Amino acid sequence: MSSESPITVLVVDDQDLVRSGFKAILSTYDGIEIVGTARNGVEAVQEAQRLKPDVVLMDIRMPEMSGIEATRAITGNPLLAKTRVLVLTTFDIDEYVYDALGAGASGFLLKDADPDEIVAAIRVVADGDALIQPKVMRRLVETFVAARPRAGWGSADAADGRRAALATLTDREREILMLVARGLSNDEIAEDLFISPATVKTHLARIMAKTDAHDRAQLVVFAYETGLVSPAR
């Protein structure tokens, strides 16, 4: 993304006050442009298709269509391949966040995060880095995988597909995927494996292609769901 172009954002929430609040606050930051708002999942999908924003701030609990369904529709649309979804949640441990990641969300934010944190997260996601705070995301994923081991996320066919995808990874790709799931950044992975960050990015691109992962967040979920990485006890 050009540093001269503003990051376009679509704000989705069923509460008028929340939408207007996010719009008013985020609009004060340089490089951030709020191009639209939506009050439910149906409107979110429609507005995303119309506006093609860089980032969608997505509420989870909404009428007509949930944020999870809307996220799945947006991330599954080839015309919106460059649009990232950042899920907004009221709780730091929200049972729906895990499902949202499975649907293709690039990460999550607490609604009470301060404006600087929200803007920083938007910029990180817009740049293509899926996780805002990898270690926090890792703990979240560990919590839900421990509570819902291997089952409850997708069909048996989907589970078989994930295992088959895992089998296609090289030893180096598995090694990098494990480090991603443990919360390491590209630079940290490069340092750990004595390779360049550019090489790490190349490997990650191949891993995403083989696992059909939308972004880094889904790689973390994939690693835990396939048992490549085990939840901390």
Mean pLDDT of 59-78: 91
- Which CATH number characterizes residue 186's domain? 1.10.10.10
Name the strand (E) or helix (H) holding 56: strand 55-59
Q: What single DSSP character describes residue 201?
A: H
Q: Are residues 19 and 114 in the same domain?
A: yes
Tally of domains in the chain: 2
Choose one of 102, 132, 162: the last residue of a domain: 132
In a domain, 139, yes or no: no
Burial (CB < 10 A; 0-12, 13-18, 19+), residue 194, is: exposed
- How many CB atoms neighbour CB 95 within 10 A? 13
Q: Are residues 72 and 157 in the same domain?
A: no
Is residue 219 pLDDT above 70, yes or no?
yes
How far is it, in rounded angstroms, from Cα 166 to Cα 160? 10
In a domain, 221, yes or no: yes
Regarding pTM above 0.95, the answer is no
In a domain, 185, yes or no: yes
In a domain, 145, yes or no: no
Per-residue pLDDT, 8: 97
In a domain, 2, yes or no: no
* 62, two tokens: 């909404």
Tens digits of residue pLDDT in 34-52: 999 999 999 999 999 999 9
Q: Are residues 125 and 11 in the same domain?
A: yes
Domain hosting 170: range is: 153-225
Tens digits of residue pLDDT in 105-151: 887 777 778 899 889 889 878 887 655 455 556 666 666 666 655 44
Q: Are residues 128 and 178 in the same domain?
A: no
Residues in the chain: 233
In a domain, 141, yes or no: no
Q: Are residues 110 and 158 in the same domain?
A: no
In a domain, 49, yes or no: yes
132-136: long-range contacts, CB 8 A cutoff, minimum separation 24:
132/107, 132/108, 134/180, 134/183, 134/184, 134/185, 134/220, 135/183
